[in-house]
């Protein structure tokens, strides 16, 4: 038997033993890849039906496809008789090392996914979080961009946002305007309340339901302070805030109601006192 015949005989033996396994492995790869793509399309369709953010749809569907494809490759290798235990252990160790190295990034990513799913705020909302106040410009996987009211851009890691309180000023359709108006102790409180009510009733932006609250809040050192709390649409908040203060001041001026400023009465005890009392006060001073 020649060398060539020996090689052919050996190939026949290998094909007889491993041929079916090779065909099976190829079938697993082809069918598995097809099934992974089908699963990817189904996930995309379901997430779009649920009106999930496009960024999250793309990421989750691609991640699912890659994960399923990895399982298919491992199954194909197992069909060929290759021991996949060590291979899986190697992948696990590599994943652990990468996870530890990217711990901060992964926490920001997880926070970004949670924000996209639960939507504590949306692009265009005015929020206060992580010590920053501004309008949300974009919500990304790792960071969120906020434009401050004085037109500065702040990039905040998502994990810092989810670990802090989030105040969303534009989440609701209506807001309450909280004002404190001080008047003199000499003024008629009923007249003051009527003047404030007249100002609020004259502004169509102020809602009738819920009705505004007007009441004495505090008897302060130099003034009687009224709590004035009208409700308005969120978009009209600052307009109502500034215009109401201006209108109340003008109405008070027209009605002769005074807005006091802090003052202190100083009584000089030495005037009209005896010389001995004046000398004693001088010594004590």
Sign of CA dihedral 115, 119, 123, 129: negative
Q: CATH assignment of 120-168?
A: 2.30.30.60
Asked whether the bond before 175 is cis by omega within 30 degrees of 0, the reply is no
Task: Identify the CA nearest to 63 among candidates 30, 31, 110, 28.
Answer: 110
Considering the four listed CATH numbers 3.30.1180.10, 3.30.70.100, 3.30.1360.200, 3.20.20.140, the one that applies to the domain covering 174-255 is 3.30.70.100
Question: What's the pLDDT tens digit per position in 211-248?
Answer: 999 999 999 988 999 999 999 999 999 999 999 999 99
Q: Are 265 and 258 in contact (CB under 8 A)?
A: no
Residue 115's pLDDT band, with cuts at 50, 70 and 90, is: confident
For 190, the token pair is 């009923």
Confidence grade of residue 15 (pLDDT, cut at 50, 70, 90): low
For residues 130 and 156, the answer to whether their CB atoms sit within 8 Å is yes
Q: Is the pLDDT of residue 88 over 70?
A: no
User: Is the per-residue pLDDT at 257 higher than 90?
Assistant: yes
Residue 31 burial class via C-beta count within 10 angstroms: exposed 0-12, middle 13-18, buried 19 and up: exposed
Q: What global pTM score does this model have?
A: 0.63
CATH number of 11-101: 1.10.287.1260
Per-chain mean pLDDT for the chain: 83
Q: 53: closest CA among 118, 105, 145?
A: 118
Boundaries of every domain in the chain: 11-101, 120-168, 174-255
pLDDT tens column, 23-57: 777 888 888 889 989 988 998 888 788 776 666 67
CA distance 139 to 154: 12
- 205: its two tokens: 């932006």
CA distance 140 to 149: 21
Q: Which of the four pLDDT bands, split at 50, 70 and 90, describes residue 256?
A: very high
Mean per-residue pLDDT, 142-170: 93
Longest distance between any two alpha carbons in the chain, whole Å: 145
């Amino acid at each position: 038997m020649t060398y060539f015949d020996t090689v052919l005989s050996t190939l026949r033996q290998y094909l007889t033993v491993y041929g079916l396994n090779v065909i099976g492995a190829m079938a697993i790869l082809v069918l598995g890849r097809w099934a992974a793509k089908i699963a990817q399309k189904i996930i995309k369709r379901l997430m779009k039906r649920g009106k999930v953010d496009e960024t999250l749809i793309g990421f989750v569907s691609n991640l699912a496809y890659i994960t399923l494809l990895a399982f298919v490759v491992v199954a194909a290798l197992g069909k060929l008789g290759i021991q996949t235990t060590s291979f899986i252990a190697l992948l696990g160790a590599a994943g652990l090392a990468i996870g530890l190295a990217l711990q901060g990034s992964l926490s920001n990513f997880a926070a970004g996914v949670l924000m996209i799913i639960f939507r504590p705020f949306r692009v265009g909302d005015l929020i206060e979080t992580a010590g920053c106040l501004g309008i949300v410009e974009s919500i990304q996987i790792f960071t969120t961009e906020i434009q401050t009211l004085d037109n500065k851009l702040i990039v905040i890691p998502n994990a810092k946002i989810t670990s802090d309180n989030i105040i969303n000023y534009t989440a609701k359709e209506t807001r309450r305007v909280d004002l404190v108006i001080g008047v003199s102790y000499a003024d008629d409180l009923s007249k003051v309340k009527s003047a404030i009510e007249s100002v609020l009733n004259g502004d169509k932006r102020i809602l009738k339901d819920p009705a505004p609250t007007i009441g004495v809040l505090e008897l302060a050192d130099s003034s009687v302070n009224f709590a004035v709390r009208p409700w308005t649409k969120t978009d009209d908040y600052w307009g109502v805030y500034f215009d109401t203060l201006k209108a109340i001041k003008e109405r008070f001026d027209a009605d002769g109601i005074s807005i006091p400023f802090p003052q202190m009465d100083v009584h000089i005890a030495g005037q009209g006192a005896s010389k001995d009392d004046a000398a004693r006060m001088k010594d004590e001073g």
